[in-house]
Amino acid sequence: MTTVTCTNVTLPLAVVFILGVLAVFFRRVNKFTQVAWDVLRGEYSVAAPSLPSGPRKTPPGTVVPTSVNYHFTRQCNYRCGFCFHTAKTSFVLPLDTAKKGLRLLVEAGMEKVNFSGGEPFIKDRGRYVGELVRFCKCELGLPSVSIVSNGSLITEDWFGKYGEWLDILAISCDSFDEETNRRIGRHQTGKDHLRCLRQVRTWCQQYKVAFKINSVVNRHNIVEDMSSEIMELNPIRWKVFQCLLIGGENAGPAALRNAEDMVITDQEFDQFVRRHEQVTCLVPESNEKMRDSYLILDEYMRFLDCRNGRKEPSRSLLDVGVKGAIQFSGFDEKMFFKRGGKYTWSKADLQLDW
């Protein structure tokens, strides 16, 4: 019989094997006994571990999609010369697929979603965006859901169906002169853009939706003073953007628009901002602040990196997940917070001063 020698004691190999098995067995019994005792004392849980309380720790280099702009359609009934998401395709995700992507974003930390286009109300006469608004608020419990629209296709019936779930509605208005709006391309035959703006503002008041105005400062409106009209309309925020060139969209040979003759200098933008500094809701955003500080999803749910003056898409988050897609977004989180990207954006927390 084979034997093993240990500390001057010679034992048969079979005995060593049996002793080893018994040692393992008793260690496991002891562990089981300890766990059972802890359960009885209430100090050990056999359920799934609870999530840590407080803010989540983000690993270095990980981007949290706190606020996402989802441009789910490129179609629009206006032809604004500076548009940076032009009608290169009519593709729109099936509603259920879009909902799946939005759920993934919430699981990754999204707190606010903004639906944009194109014109978001052009798809199914507003039903598509309305159902997304309802889903994000009712099923996903998002703190903030907003829309950016030109306002021309919105109806009171839409507010009656979906208004209670919408936190903020932003209407684009670059001038309070209709001729200037026509030169910019913000018009449609038979529609008065300024009348639509005021009508939507009234509906926002009636249906308790926060009203916001977005304006793009360009060569056609650079000398205009919009102060009195903005203060009269009293939006919660007046976002003022500097006209931005994006290759392949509003600049270059492959673009559907040409905004090169609409671009203004940084100094001209600063002059426009100073002219309106008495407007308390003014939120100016220069090209420097804008370019890298927005998380933009296109119609395929791809993040768009605009750092090089073009839109360079990631793979769709529907294929590679949020983490796999967002690392190619070019997003500058520090600039997002620096420009005031996170603010009081839920109407439950807003003091709507009508």
- Tell whether 347 is covered by a domain: no
Q: Going edge to edge, which strands form the sheet with 112-116? A: 282-285, 237-242, 210-217, 168-172, 144-149, 112-116, 67-71, 295-297, 302-305, 312-316
Is residue 200, in this structure, part of any structural domain at all? yes
Residue 92: pLDDT over 60? yes
Q: Which amino acid is at 102?
A: L
pLDDT tier for residue 350 given thresholds of 50, 70 and 90: confident
Per-residue pLDDT reduced to its tens digit, 31-48:
444 434 443 333 333 222
Residue 29 inside a domain? The answer is no
Give the residue among 330, 327, 87 at the shortest CA–CA distance from 185. 87
Tell me how far apart the alpha carbons of residues 196 and 37 are, in angstroms, rounded to a whole number: 70
What is the mean predicted confidence (pLDDT) over 194-218? Answer: 98
Q: Does the pLDDT of residue 120 top 50, yes or no?
A: yes
Domain count, the chain: 1
Interatomic CA distance for residues 273 and 285, integer angstroms:
10
**Residues whose CB falls within 8 Å of the CB of residue 353, separated by 6 or more in sequence, listed in order:** 234
Band of residue 11 on the pLDDT scale cut at 50, 70, 90: very low
Residue 54 or 156, more confident? 156
* pLDDT score at 343: 87
Asked if 123 contacts 92 with a C-beta cutoff of 8 angstroms, the reply is yes
Looking at residue 198, which CATH number applies to its domain? 3.20.20.70
Query: Domain of 168?
Result: 67-338
Beta bridge partners of 61: none
HSE (side-chain half, CA atoms, 13 Å) at 260: 9
* Catalytic residue ranges: 76, 80, 83
Look at residues 274, 273, 299 and name the one whose alpha carbon lies nearest to residue 284.
273
Instruction: Name the residue among 156, 97, 107 with its Cα closest to residue 132.
Output: 97
What is residue 354's predicted lDDT score, i.e. its pLDDT? 53
Do 166 and 146 contact (CB within 8 A), yes or no?
yes
Is the peptide bond between 118 and the residue preceding it cis, with omega within 30 degrees of 0?
A: yes
Burial class (CB in 10 A: 0-12, 13-18, 19+), 230: buried
Decide if 240 is inside a domain: yes
Percent share of the chain, pLDDT over 90: 62
Residue 40: inside a domain: no
Q: What are phi and psi of 171, to 5 degrees?
A: -110, 130
For residue range 269-317, what is the model confidence (pLDDT) as tens digits?
999 999 999 999 999 999 887 777 789 999 999 999 877 676 789 999 9
Q: Which residues pair with 213 in a beta bridge?
A: 171, 238
Average pLDDT, rounded, for the chain: 84
